[in-house]
Amino acid sequence: MINDKSNEFIRRILNFPAVRPSETICFSSLVTSLIQLGQKICEYKSRTFFTNKKNARNSIRLIEDILIVVKEIPNGVSRFANSSILSSLSEIHFIFQKYQFLLEDCSREDARIWMLAKSEDVSCQIQMLARAVAVALDVLPLEEMDVSVEVKEVVEFVRNQAVKLKFEVEMDDRRMQMNVLKILDQLEDGIIPESSDLKRVLDYLGIKYWSACNKEVKFLDNEIFAEGNADMGLLSSLMGFMIYCRGTLFEVLDNVASTQINGGSNNADQVIRFLNLDDFRCPITLEIMNDPVTIASGHTYDRSSILKWFRAGNSTCPKTSERLTSIDLVPNLALKLLIKQYCYVNGIPFVETGRRNRDTVKSVATGSVANEQAMKLLASFLVGRLVAGTMEQQNNAAFEIRLLTKTSISNRSCLVEAGAIPPLLNLVTSRDSSCQENAMAALLNLSKNSNSKSIIVGNGGLFLILDVLKGGLKMEARQHAAGTLFYLTSVEEYRKMIGENPEFIPSLLELLRNGTDRGKKNALVTIFGLLMRPENHWRVIAAGLVLLVVNLLKSFKREDLITDSLAVLSTLSERSDGAMAVLYAGALPIIVNILSSCNSRAAKEYCVSLLLALCINGGADVVPVLVKNSSLMGPLYSLLTQGNSKASKKASTLIRILQEYNEKTSSGLITPVFIEDQFINVW
């Protein structure tokens, strides 16, 4: 049988990676597979086509007629399985696959405006496939096949139909294309389009709800960042069009909206949470893969690590030692999507691969004139809603700003310039939990903009954020407040203001103690930002941070939380008072255990920095405790070759300290410290 692998990868729209049946396939298998594929295509009659309707219907009717012929072919009779018959049927199977891909694209729920814009290409593709059908039927040797006269007549009819049918852009589609182009011209000129014109387009495409409009935006967004896309300008303009529609036309956010801001449903999030993180690690580096690729052996590796392996002259699979016939790399897009979803749900940073960072690309990719002007008009509209709208309108506007500013640098800049920050700060005082959360999340995103920080602080934002951090109506609002503080700590003046206020650090510790994992992460990174100012060290120590972090380290399962905790402890240990506090908290055995067992390279590097700082600043008894632990040297030597240059130097220094102590002990120059338990708290 023929394996249908079309669902095993993420296919780009209007891309038809059909596979020709194997030359060794048996006649009966080919016929059976052809019938099954044709029946699948006929099932598309029940789908809704908002564009290219007539072309899609005619294509399906053509397939139905061909299916009549195929079903009349005697299945399993080997005397019909000569090369010419097999070749013709294989070609029809190949064409059927392309038809299925094309009809799937025409009926997609998230690409309606794009399929409208590409109607010319769609009609050309259908025309080409119809001509290919005619050729395949023309060379089908009916005289050698045991089929009736009626079947031969059907073949002749279908062949003539395939030649005569004109697959052109339909009149209604063309008219709606012109409407879209007119609106794009208005947007380019900074003219606010008539709502009735926008609704006419959306009604034609069957986009009746906010969630349906958002699906279109997300599709266009993904297409913009797909490699090798030649339609960047059109995609960007259409995205601006749909974002403007999404932000201005829908007074009610349907119940799908709340889940779509996070890119999926709560049920999906729960499934993602229980996936095994080890399945996402590269077998070479043991790090979470950013760009998984599959090699000829069927095993998947991170692109950078397997390329390094091949460039070193290896031509085998690192996992199986199997000699490879090819070193081609096939992107594992399905796995990459899973990894991205897992990282998002669990608050783990995911670094987009490619020539440029996604945020940087987005600032360029959204640079079409129509997109830029649409964003400016929308920003003005949303700020107006924040200032003078009803509570529901204010909430919707805050939600839209939250969505727009999540990843886009240009959108952040545009909304800051439009004056979105002051009314959002007013909204964080709302007693409506949804309003407060959306406003705080929007401010978190806007705080990444370089000009926003002074506006937030200048409008009394620090005290408003503190109020949310201490008593936000929802835990999500509190964690967004902590995240906003993190970006404010990038400014020395604000680090000083936050540190000197006696309420900020205890409030961050409370979030660290009782918050969600994401809240704990935001608290940790904000504290780390505060520690960039040396005067804040004693404040966090006095507040009880060290003991809290050490106790939490025992229970943390997420690597990013472990890494952030170690970063905080490492920074504190650079001073003697911090090092002493870390040792008093009993952190030494925990750090050694993490170094030996953790898979994260970053966590290991912080462990080494922390141990070295404790040796230097923590007193003379730290070294003998470390020397007595036999499991320590392996990870240290591993970091000599695998870590970055800074981590390698620290590992080398720590090894030298331990070896010198060992040599002096052996030579009797110093008396070894007797320790009943190698992990005893020597302080």
> pLDDT, tens digit, for every residue of 233-279?
899 999 999 999 999 999 888 764 555 444 444 444 555 555 666 77
Contact 498, 530 (CB under 8 A): yes
Question: Which residues does 326 contact at the CB level (< 8 Å), separation at least 6?
Answer: 296
Q: How far apart are CA 227 and CA 158, in angstroms?
A: 39
CB atoms within 10 A of CB 627: 20
> pLDDT, tens digit, for every residue of 367-388?
689 999 999 999 999 999 999 9
597 domain residue, yes or no? yes
113 domain residue, yes or no? yes
Q: How many helices (H) and strands (E) does the chain have?
A: 35, 3
Which residue, 518, 572, 575, 519, is CA-closest to 544? Answer: 572
CA distances for 208 relative to 52, 108, 469, angstroms: 19, 15, 38
The pLDDT confidence band at residue 2, using thresholds 50, 70 and 90, is: very low
pLDDT for 208: 95
Q: Residue 426: is its pLDDT beyond 80?
A: yes
The one-letter amino acid code at 198 reads: L
pLDDT for 293: 87
411 domain residue, yes or no? no
Which residue, 557, 465, 77, 514, is CA-closest to 276? Answer: 557
Q: What is the mean pLDDT of the chain?
A: 85
Residue range(s) defining the domain that contains residue 70? 27-169
Task: Label each residue of 511-542 as H, E or C.
Answer: HHHHCCHHHHHHHHHHHHHHCCCHHHHHHHHH
Q: Read out DSSP for 366-395?
A: T-SHHHHHHHHHHHHHHHHHHHHS-HHHHH
Percent of the chain with pLDDT over 90: 52
Q: For 266, what's the count of Cα atoms within 13 Å in the CB-facing half-sphere?
A: 4
Residues 160, 294: one domain? no
CB atoms within 10 A of CB 514: 11
CA 413 from centroid of its chain's CA atoms: 22
Kindly provide the b/e burial profile for residues 338-359, where b requires at least 16 CB atoms within 10 angstroms of the residue's own CB: bbbbbbbbbbbeeeebeeeebe
pLDDT for 659: 85
Q: How far apart are CA 645 and CA 638, in angstroms?
A: 13
The mean pLDDT of 441-469, rounded to a whole number, is 96
pTM tops 0.85? no
Give the torsion sign (CA, 11, 15, 21, 27).
positive
Q: Residue 196: is its pLDDT beyond 70?
A: yes
Q: Residue 680: is its pLDDT beyond 50?
A: no
Which residue, 74, 97, 84, is CA-closest to 147? Answer: 74
Q: Residue 125: is its pLDDT beyond 60?
A: yes
71 domain residue, yes or no? yes
pLDDT for 670: 55
Q: Residue 104: is its pLDDT beyond 60?
A: yes
Contact 302, 282 (CB under 8 A): yes
Q: Residue 358: is its pLDDT beyond 60?
A: no
By three-state DSSP, how is residue 330 classified? Answer: strand
246 domain residue, yes or no? no
Q: Which of 169, 200, 225 is the last residue of a domain?
A: 169
Q: How far apart are CA 665 and CA 620, in angstroms?
A: 14
pLDDT for 543: 95
Which residue, 340, 296, 347, is CA-closest to 322? Answer: 296
188 domain residue, yes or no? no
Tokens of 82: 């000569």
The one-letter amino acid code at 188 reads: E
Q: Residue 428: is its pLDDT beyond 80?
A: yes
Task: Output the domain CATH number for residue 306.
Answer: 3.30.40.10
CA 23 from centroid of its chain's CA atoms: 40
- Tally of domains in the chain: 3
159 domain residue, yes or no? yes
Q: How far apart are CA 485 and CA 504, in angstroms?
A: 10
> pLDDT, tens digit, for every residue of 535-567?
999 999 999 999 999 999 988 888 889 999 999
Q: Read out DSSP for 178-192?
A: HHHHHHHHHHHTTPP
pLDDT for 232: 87
Specify the higher pLDDT residue, 479 or 664: 479
The pLDDT confidence band at residue 112, using thresholds 50, 70 and 90, is: very high
Q: How far apart are CA 661 and CA 667, in angstroms?
A: 10
The mean pLDDT of 485-497, rounded to a whole number, is 95
pLDDT for 276: 65
Q: Read out DSSP for 540-601?
A: HHHTTHHHHHHHHHTT---HHHHHHHHHHHHHHTTSHHHHHHHHHTT-HHHHHHHHHH---H
* Beta bridge mates, 636: none
By three-state DSSP, how is residue 292 classified? Answer: strand
For the chain, how long is the longest CA-to-CA vector? 107
Residues 165, 293: one domain? no
Q: Which of 169, 193, 227 is the last residue of a domain?
A: 169
Q: Read out DSSP for 189-234?
A: TTPPPPHHHHHHHHHHTT--SHHHHHHHHHHHHHHHTSTT-S-HHH
Q: Which of 147, 169, 191 is the last residue of a domain?
A: 169
Range with the poorest average pLDDT among 32-36, 349-353, 540-544: 349-353
CB atoms within 10 A of CB 311: 8
Contact 484, 498 (CB under 8 A): no
Contact 181, 119 (CB under 8 A): no
pLDDT for 344: 64
65 domain residue, yes or no? yes
